[in-house]
Amino acid sequence: MIKMQGNKKAADKIISVYWFAILFIVAAGIVFMVSSFYGKPYEVREIEVGLLADKGADCVSYAGFLREGVLSQEFKDSFLEICDITFETEDSYGWTDESEYFLQLNFYDFDSYQNTNKNSLFEASAGNQRLQNFCQLKGKGFPVCLERKLYILDKEGKKYVVKINSIVKKIEKNSQ
């Protein structure tokens, strides 16, 4: 009887040691998960790139119609100023050396858009063109790209397809 009691006490101690070992493992797991979650920056580029494309679309069209003066050399030359866009960024991670954004608007004739050899009637772009090279690549650590199409009419009723390409890099502050 005394021997049995001794065995039970020893077993209880072993259980409590195991219990605290389990608690320690659980704690370590939670600490690791929380640290890795909050240690990473918030990824907002998906939203940002969408807003940039919206801004480009609003700049060339209003209520489905082409804005005046869009298909002109002046618009092409001062695209960002006319659209009230600035690509200046904070001076961190060498972001001021090269633009972290790219925005391109391509205008096509609606009727010939389905043709394989379609030619752009008008093109306006600004920002870092080199970012386009990364759009085919998938995974973390690459710029976020978005391509949108917009159908608009001019005053004479001519139909256009506008292809908007917007890209945001800002990798260091969004993806790690």
Partner 1 sequence: MIRNRRGNILTENIIFIVLNLVFIAILMLFLFSKAGNAAVLEEKYAKEIALAIDAAEPAMTIHLNMEDAIEEAENLNLNQIVTIENNIINVKLREKGGYSYSFFNDVKVNVNFDGENKEYYFVIEKND
| Beta carbon of residue 146, minimum distance to partner 1 (angstroms, whole number) | 14
- C-alpha 40/C-alpha 43 separation (Å) is 9
- C-alpha 156/C-alpha 148 separation (Å) is 24
| Beta carbon of residue 170, minimum distance to partner 1 (angstroms, whole number) | 8
- Give the count of alpha carbons within 13 A of 50, CB side only: 4
| Beta carbon of residue 80, minimum distance to partner 1 (angstroms, whole number) | 8
| Beta carbon of residue 92, minimum distance to partner 1 (angstroms, whole number) | 7
Nearer to partner 1, 127 or 161 (CB): 127
| Beta carbon of residue 29, minimum distance to partner 1 (angstroms, whole number) | 10
Nearer to partner 1, 12 or 111 (CB): 12
Instruction: For residue 105, give the nearest of 134, 136, 72, 144 by alpha carbon.
Output: 72
- C-alpha 155/C-alpha 63 separation (Å) is 12
* Residues, the chain: 176
Interface with partner 1 by CB under 8 A: which residues?
A: 12, 16, 23, 27, 30-31, 34-35, 38, 41-42, 44, 47-48, 51-52, 54-55, 80-81, 84-90, 92, 101, 173
CB 49 within 8 A of CB 146: yes
Residue 31: CB atoms within 10 A of its CB come to 10
- C-alpha 104/C-alpha 126 separation (Å) is 7
